[in-house]
Amino acid sequence: FLGPAPLDMKTLEELFQAITDLQDLTNKLDDLLDSPADITVYYGQNAKMEATGDITVSGPLLYDCDVVAGGSITVSGECRSGSYIAGSAICAHAVGSKGLGVISLIVGENGTIGADTFYPGVKLRIGSVQTVIEQECHNQKFHVQEGKLVSSAFRRGGVRC
């Protein structure tokens, strides 16, 4: 339908065929929007990423990024300052840093946040429950149970957080 194409239609049959074609195209596009889109990167600095599915960072670092995932965020390396929001889970090797910037991690009501190392100052929010990490802690996975934030052992090679 570029240019004067609609004006070139001479019969009602041509118009009805065009309507049918547009409805088919609309249905195909709606189906594509319902499929989750994932992002996989090696490294990120001052980046903005948004995916309807999962975001995976396979390299050493995410630094000062704004990341939003409808599913989970998985970082093989360190996740320093920035804002990280996921629907279900955030997992990383290390979160925060000693003296560098502010980082906040947010997941949905039934989500989990886990890391090998959490540095002081990391802001966590799971659903409506939030806290700030006050001292360095290791191998922790946080989730909400009966309205309270609880932690358990976190093993990167084991069960997905």
Mean pLDDT, the chain, rounded, equals 89
- Residue of 64, 35, 61, 59 lying closest to 48 (CA atoms): 64
| Per-residue confidence (pLDDT) for residue 123, from 0 to 100 | 97
Give the largest Cα separation in the chain, rounded. Answer: 75
**pLDDT cut 90: percent of the chain above it:** 68
- 3-state helix, strand and coil shares in percent for the chain, rounded to the nearest 5: 15, 45, 35
Report the pLDDT averaged over residues 71-83: 95
**pLDDT cut 70: percent of the chain above it:** 92
> What confidence tier does 7 reach under pLDDT thresholds 50, 70, 90?
confident
Residue-wise pLDDT tens digits, 131-150: 999 999 999 999 999 999 99
Is the pLDDT reported for residue 3 higher than 70? no
More confident residue, 25 or 40: 40
| Per-residue confidence (pLDDT) for residue 107, from 0 to 100 | 97
More confident residue, 99 or 37: 37
